[in-house]
Amino acid sequence: MRNVIITGAANGVGKAVAEKLKGENLILIDIDEKGLEKTANKLNSRSFTCDLTDVNEVNNIIGQISNQYDKIDCLINCADMWISGDMSKLEQPIFDEMNTLDRIKEVIDTNIFGTIAMIKSIFPIMKKQGYGQIININSQSGVMCEPPFPIYNAIKHSTNAFRKAIQDDLARNNIKITDVCPGLIQTDFYKRANNELPKEVMATGLMPEDVAETVKYVFDLPHEITIPSIEVRHIKNY
């Protein structure tokens, strides 16, 4: 069994990925303590509650993991928050609430800093052991620019650029990294941001299990084979 860290594992794609990889030795991380506990109990996995925007909490969790595990085979970054709204629509109550400066910072810190912090923290472990794999759940918003989601576009392009910038360096240390870039997914991702989409729109989305299946495909490739980035969308959602 491989030791696999999965962030954002309490619900949505992170939970689906954990369920798909239940045969591995899973180390689950999320800020949602109750949801995380439920997932961990179901899969008989270790779990660590952590706010990925908090430097001290990240350092503490990585310290605990380093003390308890002699190797980390794979890191899968699934933690994510949604934000939407054209600049001209921000006076509308739903978008005004979602785009306060405090919340914008929280989303940026979770989606960008959280991803970078986990990669930066796990890299020394993988370098020392001589190998490793990192999989980031990115987005179609990291591949194209979708006008209604300017901040989310900026965030996902940022993590995409970070992956591109470090992939050669990681490869020289026998560590491979992949961005999985899904389109719309049928989870409560948008609802949790108070931006629930119409049912007819959600019906054109992937299921979280579809994304998890893609992650497993990348996860199971021979180590010498790497896919820098892979896109996945429902055929009705182009």
Closest CA to 15 of 140, 134, 202, 189: 189
Asked if 51 and 57 touch (Cβ cutoff 8 Å), the reply is: yes
What integer is the mean pLDDT of 176-190?
A: 94
Q: Is position 126 within any domain?
A: yes
Q: Is position 92 within any domain?
A: no
Q: Is position 85 within any domain?
A: no
- pLDDT at residue 44, rounded to an integer: 95
Q: Is position 195 within any domain?
A: no
Confidence of residue 238 (pLDDT cuts 50, 70, 90): confident
> Domain containing 18 — which CATH number?
3.40.50.720
228: containing domain: 3-80+111-184+207-232
pLDDT at residue 65 is higher than 70: yes
Q: Cα(72)–Cα(4) distance, rounded to whole angstroms? A: 6
What integer is the mean pLDDT of 83-88?
A: 76
pLDDT at residue 14 is higher than 70: yes
pLDDT at residue 76 is higher than 90: yes
E strands, the chain, where?
A: 3-7, 25-30, 46-49, 74-77, 132-137, 175-182, 229-232
Q: How is residue 170 written in tokens? A: 């990681």
Number of domain units in the chain: 1
Phi/psi of residue 12, nearest 5 degrees: 60, -140
- pLDDT at residue 90, rounded to an integer: 66
Q: 152-190: string of b/e by CB count within 10 Å (b at 16+)?
A: bbbbbbbbbebbeebbeebeeeebbbbbbbbbbbbbebb
pLDDT at residue 225 is higher than 80: yes
Confidence of residue 43 (pLDDT cuts 50, 70, 90): very high
Q: Is position 193 within any domain?
A: no
β-strand pairing of 25-30 with 3-7: parallel
Q: Is position 32 within any domain?
A: yes
Closest CA to 41 of 63, 58, 18: 18
What integer is the mean pLDDT of 53-72?
A: 96
Confidence of residue 194 (pLDDT cuts 50, 70, 90): confident
Q: Cα(167)–Cα(165) distance, rounded to whole angstroms? A: 6
Q: Cα(182)–Cα(172) distance, rounded to whole angstroms? A: 28
Q: Is position 194 within any domain?
A: no
Q: Cα(28)–Cα(18) distance, rounded to whole angstroms? A: 8
pLDDT at residue 163 is higher than 80: yes
- pLDDT at residue 198, rounded to an integer: 86
Percent of the chain at pLDDT > 90 equals: 83
Condensed to tens digits (0 to 9), the pLDDT of residues 133-148 reads: 999 999 999 999 988 8
Q: Is position 37 within any domain?
A: yes
pLDDT at residue 50 is higher than 90: yes
Comparison of pLDDT for 193 and 179, the residue scoring more: 179
Condensed to tens digits (0 to 9), the pLDDT of residues 149-160 reads: 899 999 999 999
pLDDT at residue 87 is higher than 70: no
